[in-house]
A and B are shown apart, each in its own frame.
Chain A
Amino acid sequence: MTFFFPTGSLRAFPSRLYPDYKSTVKRAPTKPLVTIPHTLSELTGPVFGHDAAQPGDEDLTRQHQGEPIGERIIVHGRVLDEDARPVPHTLVEIWQANACGRYVHVVDQHPAPLDPNFTGAGRTVTDQDGTYKFITVRPGAYPWGNHHNAWRPSHIHFSLFGHAFVSRLVTQMYFPGDPLFPFDPIFNSVTDEAARNRMVSAFDLDATIPGWAIAFRFDIVLRGRNQTPMER
């Protein structure tokens, strides 16, 4: 299958400069980006076998001696392309704060406890039908320095590859109904409401495990459409 990657789809992305998110001001390019045709360099990308993730890497609650504190959850979904076709065998990496809203990263000095039983990193490779599944705990909201009384809504960071280097995506998954949404410039940097809501997972009663964990579904759509021979 040959894929193409319409740049028009990128209108769903945030602008690089979004002054409400203050760190963008000194870090966004100011000169015009140069538009170039997609060559083999852009149309290719790394391939991952199932060796890219080890069994157990997708369960963030079993990486240490004991179980982490917090609300155990299942996060699952499908990785699709713009034709809604599954993206099989692609690497999905996640990282997140613990249930108290604290990251293990040395730079995070938020006065909330670290959990010795939780690192907060996971990875998996999608199945033939593009599905993935993680078991983790629900991350807490955390404060940050962007503006007075700024708090990030609960989120899980996602990193994906897809069919080519141009389909590479780093995003964040949010939880439905978070009261912090209206106040978060990172979430609102996606100015189109429908596009913004595609970053919000859905509570998934069918995927819950009774007596054990509730579930959230997060489908991810990466750049890429199939080019039929006729379109070529």
Chain B
Amino acid sequence: MAAITPSQTVGPYFAFGLAPNRKYDWKDTFGSDLVTPDAAGERIRIEGRVLDGDGAPIDDCMIEIWQANAQGRYASPADMRPRPNTAFRGFGRTATDADGRYGFDTIKPGRVPGPDGEPQAPHVLLAVFARGMLRQSYTRVYFADEAANAQDAILALVPAERRATLLAAKSAREGRIVYTFDIRMQGDAETVFFEI
């Protein structure tokens, strides 16, 4: 057995190393556009704001997402089911702007098996990193217009009165489908975070 290395904050200065986004003299490993030309599925945008306990925008936040493809398969060796030959990786990273805004262009994920083998409702894993956060916090983006949410085994573990914080609202903008998912670290509408 080996004991794990503790987490430390990403701090205020991560952007030049982890999310340079052409603002710094360094290459991006990952970006906010997950869509590959060969990826099947519905193109969507997931976007929102990250807010602190005063409702103030967190402008030095890094957001990462991890998701299945439209067929509900993860591009990972731990998902041993066959998957279509596509370049879609399902991982994205971005930094919030001065208003605490983030956004990802991606495809809507399919359903993946849940703890009991029943399919879960479509969802995206999301991790929040920032100055003042000594470790990342994990949440899940669900899609508010999905009927499957009502049977989702993970949502069922969330107190009913807090479930709405995990539901991204659907809208259309310039012909594109946009799901809005604000992340509130504290307050009455504090986003549900998971101990995983």
CA distance A172 to B132 in the complex (A): 14
**Residues on B with beta carbons closer than 8 Å to the beta carbon of A159:** 10, 17-18
**Residues on B with beta carbons closer than 8 Å to the beta carbon of A133:** none
Q: Which of chain A's residues has its CB closest to B64's CB? A: A168
Question: Contact between A104 and B24 (Cβ–Cβ < 8 Å)?
Answer: yes
By secondary structure, the A interface counts as: loop
Having A46-B91, A157-B14, one finds 16 other A-B pairs with CB under 8 Å, namely A14-B6, A23-B131, A26-B132, A26-B185, A27-B133, A27-B186, A42-B125, A95-B18, A103-B13, A120-B16, A121-B16, A166-B196, A170-B7, A172-B11, A195-B6, A198-B5
CA distance A23 to B194 in the complex (A): 21
CA distance A67 to B113 in the complex (A): 52
Shortest CB–CB separation between residue B27 and chain A, in angstroms? 8
Question: Contact between B5 and A171 (Cβ–Cβ < 8 Å)?
Answer: yes
**Residues on B with beta carbons closer than 8 Å to the beta carbon of A163:** 78
Near A by CB (< 8 A), chain B positions 98-124 give 112-115, 120, 123
Question: Contact between B78 and A164 (Cβ–Cβ < 8 Å)?
Answer: yes
Q: A221 at the A/B interface (Cβ < 8 Å)?
A: yes
**Residues on B with beta carbons closer than 8 Å to the beta carbon of A195:** 3, 6
Near B by CB (< 8 A), chain A positions 5-46 give 5, 7, 9-10, 12-16, 18, 21-31, 33-46
Question: Contact between A221 and B3 (Cβ–Cβ < 8 Å)?
Answer: yes
Binds B, one of A68-76, A77-85, A175-183, A209-217: A77-85
**Residues on A with beta carbons closer than 8 Å to the beta carbon of B143:** none
Q: Which of chain B's residues has its CB closest to A79's CB? A: B5
Q: B36 at the A/B interface (Cβ < 8 Å)?
A: no
Max count, chain A CB within 10 A of own CB: residue among B6, B24, B132: B6
Question: Contact between B78 and A21 (Cβ–Cβ < 8 Å)?
Answer: no
CA distance A29 to B29 in the complex (A): 29
Q: Which of B16, B64, B78, B190 interacts with A103 by CB under 8 Å? A: B16
Q: B21 at the A/B interface (Cβ < 8 Å)?
A: no
CA distance A200 to B144 in the complex (A): 45
- What are 11 pairs between A and B in contact, CB < 8 Å? A21-B9, A33-B193, A36-B194, A40-B112, A83-B1, A159-B18, A171-B6, A172-B8, A189-B8, A195-B3, A198-B3
